Structure formats: C-alpha cells, structure tokens
Structure 1
Amino acid sequence: MASGQKKKWVDKMVFRAALRRWAQAARASHRMELSELREHRTRARRLRAHLDKLIHVAEERLALPMIGNQAFPRPVDTDWAWRPELWCGPLPVPGMSSVASQSMLGDEATMFHDCAQSELTLRQVRNTREADLAAYGLRMDVFRFDGSYLSLAIDLPEEASRGLKRSHLIRIDTIVEMEKPLEIFARLNIKHGPNTEQIVRELPLHEADINVEFDLAYTKLNEKRVEKLWLDLIFEGPEMNQVVLRDLTFSRRKRAAL
C-alpha cells in the first residue's frame, strides 16, 4: 500500500473510531454522572467550534463558481471556445485606480481612453451568485469622464485564429450589470497581413441573454494570412456609472450550409 493510500486508510479508521465514541457518549448522556457529563460537554463544545468553522468555510467556498472553470453553454458544432483568464482565476494584481490608458489587467485585457485626468477604477471581483459559471467578474467604476472614448480590449489566443475561415461565425456571450443604462458595442478585429477587418455589433443589454455573433462572410478576410484577433468592448456614456462584467465567453463555429 502506497504511503498516501495508507494515510487515507488510517485517517478513515481514526474518524470512524472517533465517530463511534461520540455516538456512544450521546446515547449514554441521559444516564451519565454529572461530573462525567460536564467533561463531555466541554470537549464537545471545543470540537463543535472547529467543526462549525470548517462547515462555514466549506459551504461558502463550495457554493462559489469553481476557479479555472472553462465550462459554459456553447452552440452545437462549436470548434473552439474560450473564457479569458480575467474571468477564470485570481490575477496577481486584482485592481487599479486612476487607470491610465493602455493599462493592462492580467495578460489579456487592456483599457484604452483619452481622458485628460483618469477617474476610472478596475477591479477583479469574486462571483458569488448561484447562476454564475465564471469564478470572477470585472467591475469598472467611472466617475467624472472628460474623454471621447472608453474601451476594454481582450486579446484572443492563437487558437482562435488557427484554421479561421470566412465561413465561421464568432460569438460572444456576456453577463452585464450596471447602475444606470448605457450602450456597449463589441468590435471584433482580425489582423490578416497588412489589413485589419473590423465588425461592430451593439450588445442587446435589454435582453435576458446578452450575446452577439460576427459573421465573417461579410469581410474580405484573407484566410491564409490571419495573424491575430482581439475584441474591443466600447462603452458609450460611462460617466458616473458602475459596470460589472460577470462573465465573457467566446465560441466559434462554421455557418450552416445554404
């Protein structure tokens, strides 16, 4: 028996023995001498304090979405799907304030703006709702905004461009919370050789399921020279607002043959 298996076996036996002793003590509690009962009560209270703490932490952690989770609903015939790191696991730097343009949060997300004075904060937050599949979300607080644009760029991995064809549809799904209404546009950028194709869609924030699809058939994509893909989320009228992106996922599939 390997040492790890042996330790598990010993732990199991010790637990069963302790469980039997406490079960016997509970059954005998009605006829114990008071001095013995008082001693058992003291031990039980000390044990309960540790058990209550363990149960509380376990229930809290097990109720949260799993860190690193890449599972999410995706269309049939999807040949590539992905959730960026910002929504999967904890970042080394979870947030920043007075965010300067071109500041990066993690390795894949970059904030762009043209404010003379930044009153913008970004923070990665832990998702806690039962409906959340993503472990983390991104909270953006915007106070005074004197710029003309604000966008969050997400760099897609190399796998997204591998084998990319004009017959592909690229879809994004997101969950958005905001303090007051605003418009968010999604712009997919595809660099192929010296050119960059751009497709813009407005996110349907009034709908229960927020998703958009980019049909590459309407582009002049050179399939042999695809180098890089990235997504810009463009926020219109963000001043004095808090926006939380609870999730953001990507998927790719071939368009149905006509």
Structure 2
Amino acid sequence: MGRLLDRYIQRRAVERWRQALRGAPTAPEPQLRQQRDDARKLRTHLQMLIHEADSRLARPRIGSTQFPKPLGTDWCWRPDLWRGPLARPGVASAARKAQMDRQVTLFHDCSLAEIAMRQTRNSRDKDLAAYGMTVEVFGFSGSFLSLSVELPYEAAQGLTKQHLMRVDTLIEAEQPLEIFARLNIQHGPNAEQVLRKLDLSASTCSVDFDLAHLPLNESRIEKIWLDLIFENPQMNRVSLRDLTFCRHHRADL
C-alpha cells in the first residue's frame, strides 16, 4: 500500500512540474520566481541522487577483483588504482618520479615534463576493472618512460622457481608504440629481471614470466615489482584499462 501511495505522489509531483512548465510563458513574475527557486533546490537534490546512483550502479563495480585466472592459480591481484577511486586522480607536468598511489609510480628522465597521467572510470561492457589509467605524453626528449607497479608482500610468500607469474593487460594507444613488461624480483642483495614485449594488436595481452631459469634464492625473496616501459612515447595517449597479476604452478611434464 505504501509503495502505491509513493508512486501516486510522485506522479502528482511530475504532473505539477509539467503544468508549471506549460504555464511559464504567461505566469506572473512573483509566481515564476518562486517556481524557479523551488526547481533549483529540487535540481540540486536530483543531481546528487543521480551522481550517487551512477556511482553505485555503474559497471564494473568499484572494488571488483573478478578476472580470468589460469588453472592452478594460488595468488592473484588487481592493483588498487584499477579497483577504486584515488584521493588524487591525476598528475600534470609529472615529475621524474611521480607517484599515483603507494603502488604505482611513473619514472622518466625528460626535462620537458610534458607528461600527464590520470585515473579514469571504465564503463564499457567488456571492462572488468572499475577504473583505468591514462598517460598522455606531448614533447619527449628523454631516454626512458616507465610505469612501476609494486606487488604486495603476499606475492613473494611461497614463490618458487616452479611458478609462472602472469600479467594481463588491456591497453589502448592513440598511435602505435612498443611497450615492454619487465618483472623484477629482489632476493637478498641481488635482483633478477625477466623482460617481455607486449602484443598490443590483441584486445587483451597476457604474458607469462617463467622463473625456472632464474638464479633465485627462494628463501630470501623480499620484493617484486613490474615495470611497463614505453618506447618512443611522444605525442601519444596510452590508456591502461586493466592490469592484473596471477601466480600459478607450471604444468607437470
């Protein structure tokens, strides 16, 4: 009963504003002024409601950790930047070391610093991550530009040379360019690296980093991070719509 009454009241309210709109050209000025003030107050609340509803109902959902994982996965992760809103959503004229959050940092050696990066909201049906990241580069005279993502402590726990570390990316670029992914593993005083080129011709790109041939001291693995290295990035805009990590065991031979 209450719901039916609410709908009736809402229909009456909508009809009232329709009548006010139809009568606006001939309404007395005092009446029109009052209707305008009432409409402005109502508009403020409606816009706030629409904003809140869009935020909650937009797909994909904020905080989502859903993405395909290979068989045998024992650890997986999507960085915070791709899961929820940042306190500072963007950086203009990025410094040579510019942090987006505690996990993601941009590095370069270009004196012009005509580089901007910002967090963006994903909304397409095929997007699984709630947010993405866009890097815009104008003039660039430096020798390198890279995005570093530090993996959490759990990624190193129990890691062995029998593991494969998979990185899945969804990247779009205005102009063709090459991007390399470099996995770095620090164990004691040493650090090992594995470099792979990303295939940007596919809608999604997956690379597996094989740890079998690395001289790892498995008991002393302390830190893991990924560098995404952009080759010749000038006059380009690159959107990283998703970035995920999986750790899984190599299939038995």
Using the size of structure 2 for normalisation, the TM-score is 0.83
**Residues 223 and 144 of structure 1, relative CA distance in 2, 3 Å threshold:** same
Contact 2:183/2:226 (8 A) holds in 1: yes
Is residue 63–residue 130 contact of structure 1 (8 Å, CA) maintained in 2? no
Per-residue CA distance 1:78-100 (angstroms, 9 max, x = gap): 10000001111111111111111
Q: Structure 1 residue 225 and structure 2 residue 251: aligned?
A: no
- Provide closer, same or farther for how the CA distance between residues 89 and 59 of structure 1 changes in structure 2, counting only shifts above 3 A: closer
Residue in structure 1 matching 2:207, options 180, 205, 212:
212
Q: Which amino acid aligns with 1:92?
A: A
1:117 equivalent to 2:112? Answer yes
Rounded Cα–Cα distance in structure 1 between residues aligned with 2:225 and 2:53? 38
- Alpha-carbon distance between aligned partners in 2 of 1:173 and 1:211, rounded to the nearest angstrom: 4
- Tell me the SS of whatever aligns to 1:188: strand
CA separation of 1:96 and 1:39: change in aligned 2, threshold 3 A: closer
Which residue number in structure 2 is paired with residue 69 of structure 1? 64
Residue number among 188, 194, 202 corresponding to 1:199 in the alignment? 194
Task: Name which of 220, 225, 231 aligns with 1:236.
Answer: 231
TM superposition shift of 1:40: 8.9
In structure 1, the residue corresponding to 2:116 is in which secondary structure? strand
Alignment of 1:11-50 (within 5 A): 14-19=2-7, 21=8, 41-42=15-16
Q: Which runs of 4+ in 1 moved over 3 A?
A: 16-19, 38-41, 43-46, 49-61
Number of positions where the alignment pairs a residue of Structure 1 with one of Structure 2: 230
**How far apart in 1 are the matches of 2:111 and 2:58?**
43
How big is the alpha-carbon RMSD for the aligned residues of Structure 1 and Structure 2?
2.6
Shift of 1:57: 6.7
SS in 1 for 2:212: helix
**Gap regions ≥5 residues in structure 1:** 1-12, 27-37
- 2:231 is aligned with 1:249: no
**Aligned equivalents of 2:163, 2:219: Cα separation in 1:** 14
Aligned partner letter, 2:2: V
Q: Distance in 2 between matches of 1:244 and 1:40?
A: 42
**Which deviations, in whole Å up to 9, do the C-alpha atoms of 1:207-250 show, x marking residues without a partner?**
23311000000211111100000000000010000000000000
Q: Taking every aligned residue pair, what percent have the same amino acid on both sides?
A: 52
Larger radius of gyration: 1
What's the offset of the Cα at 1:147? 0.3
SS, match of residue 6 in structure 2: helix
Residue in structure 2 matching 1:139, options 123, 134, 137: 134
Q: Structure 2 unaligned segments of length 5 or more: list them.
A: 21-41
Q: Name which of 157, 161, 168 aligns with 1:166.
A: 161
Shift of 1:117: 2.0
Retained in 1: the 8 A contact 2:170–2:205? yes
Distance 1:87 1:112, change over 3 A: same
**Is the alpha carbon distance of 1:205 and 1:45 closer, same or farther for their aligned partners in structure 2, counting shifts above 3 Å?**
farther
Offset of residue 58 of structure 1: 3.7
Q: 1:45 to 1:210 in 2, by over 3 A?
A: farther
Q: 1:191 to 1:40 in 2, by over 3 A?
A: closer
Residues 158 and 15 of structure 1: is their aligned pair in 2 closer, same or farther, counting only changes over 3 Å?
same
Query: Scaled by the length of structure 1, what TM-score is found?
Result: 0.81
SS at match of 1:224: helix
